[in-house]
Amino acid sequence: MKKILLAGLCLLALLVPALTACNSGGNGSGTPSENTEGLIVIGFSQVGAESDWRLANTKSMRETFTEANGYKLILKDAQGKLENQITAIREFIAQKVDYIVFAPISEEGWEDVLTEARKAGIPVVIVDRMIKTSDDSLYTCWVGSDFHKEGDTAVAWMEATFQDKADLKIVHLQGSIGSSAQIGRTDGLGAGADRNAGWDVIYRATGDFTQVKGKEVMEYVLKQFDRIDVLYCENDNMAFGAMEAMDMAKRTYGINGDTQIISFDATRAGLDATIKGKITYNVECNPLHGPRVEAIIKQLEKGETPDKLAYVEEVAFDAATITQEVIDARMY
């Protein structure tokens, strides 16, 4: 009898998780699956996987919000589409997650879905980029970079470095149009061009923060312009694509070349290009937001009130002074 009973209990033990698993989220009931018992459920809508920066950002979130740390992370990759982010946030609302976290692909278009999240009583933490809204009660708090400061840092370096040049022919490779990162970095260059009469932005286009599009745009540019003094590139991956195009066109760049490349993100690959003198100046944009978002959620869990806006400290790297020790000491 005992053996039969034990066998029965073992069989039941095997069945229960399987049944639970079958019901986990698949029943459309809108409740997180039972296997999140005791875990804080985080719905995270990520822009996509367009750049090294984005991959490092996603990695930071995954490494922070683990079940071992007490979280269930539901990560949705929007593949670069605003409508996918809005759909994901609606799914998180239906699943009654504990927190909604998202990196907004663009600044516009969030009022309706964030109003729905507020009605559902789900705190929203915005990470990385920002949204444009007149009602900041639509989100609990934000953590990310000061993109205008990043642009200003790059332009201050340009003004110091090129102060003796009568004129400067500049090509501007923009990030995804409408994203805070693009807006801030573009505004920085715009203000610099307004202040420096000799600066001439001879061409401006978006490379959408990707290497493929950065190369495509630069292939076109190189056919139009023989002289490019500066390539102001709003992230490393577009700079890598532009370098590919310049290599193919046998155009020189970097500290000993005709075109000085200014980039943003300072990813590991970007800093490797900087210490090699291929990128002349690289402005950091720190992607390690996982621990920062967790600190906010821990405060909220304790009933505390985190700062509404939290800017991350960032630096910049000059090919003339960067060292391998500095690069090796970095976390990404």
Q: Smallest gap, in angstroms, from Cβ of residue 122 to ligand GZL?
A: 23
Residues making contact with ligand GZL (CB under 6 A)? 50-51, 53-54, 128-129, 145, 179, 181, 209, 235, 264-265, 285
Cβ nearer to ligand GZL, comparing 126 with 230: 126
* CA pair distance 332, 10, nearest whole angstrom: 46
Q: What is the DSSP string of 100-113?
A: EEE--SSSSS-HHH
Strands, E assignment, 23-167? 40-46, 71-77, 99-102, 124-128, 141-144
For ligand GZL, which is the closer residue by CB, 145 or 174?
145
Burial of 224 (0-12, 13-18, 19+ CB in 10 A): exposed
Cβ-based nearer residue to ligand GZL, 142 or 209: 209
Question: Smallest distance, Å, CB 280 to ligand GZL?
Answer: 18
In angstroms, what is the minimal distance from the CB of 209 to ligand GZL?
Answer: 4
Smallest distance, ligand GZL to C-beta of residue 33, A = 31
How many whole angstroms separate alpha carbon 133 and alpha carbon 131? Answer: 6
Task: Provide the minimum distance between the beta carbon of 235 and ligand GZL in the complex, in angstroms, as a whole number.
Answer: 4
- Of the pair 124, 168, the CB lying nearest ligand GZL is at 124
Residues linked to residue 143 through DSSP beta bridges, in sequence order: 127, 310
Minimum distance from CB of 54 to ligand GZL (Å)? 5
Cβ proximity to ligand GZL, 147 vs 162, nearer residue:
147
Nearer to ligand GZL, 129 or 251 (CB): 129
Cβ burial of 235 (10 Å; 0-12, 13-18, 19+) is buried
Task: Enter the tokens of residue 285.
Answer: 């944009």
Residue with tokens 């490779």: 173
Q: Are 206 and 182 in contact (CB under 8 A)?
A: yes
